[in-house]
Amino acid sequence: MISKALWVELQAQPGKEDDVEAFLNSAKALVESEPGTRTWYAVKLGPASYAIFDTFDDESGRDAHLAGEVAKALMNQAPDLFAEQPQINKVDVLAAK
């Protein structure tokens, strides 16, 4: 049962919006190889504002994701793509369908 999640806020550097969207689209393939990641969404909140929301059954799945390839790629590319460091928030899921 899904009980853990991550909410990651991302603010693109001016002029890097297309690059951020390309990065997020490419990250989907990396996440598909993670058995502990139940769902993964990359969303656009505004002209240069993005977020990632992903869910996990337990803390071990969330920890594995945070140590995985998407997280590494995100942190490696952060200085070039984002106006500020990505804000990674661990959250608990209260209800899900």
> Could you tell me the domains of the chain?
4-92 (3.30.70.100)
Q: What is the three-class DSSP state of 82? A: strand
pTM above 0.75, yes or no: yes
Looking at residue 10, its pLDDT comes to 98
How far apart are alpha carbons 72 and 69 in whole angstroms?
A: 5
Please state, in angstroms and as integers, the Cα–Cα distance from residue 45 to each residue in 7, 10, 62, following that order: 13, 10, 23
How far apart are alpha carbons 74 and 78 in whole angstroms?
A: 6
pLDDT digits (tens, 9 = 90+) for 70-95: 999 999 999 999 999 999 999 999 99
Residue type, 63: D
Residue type, 76: N
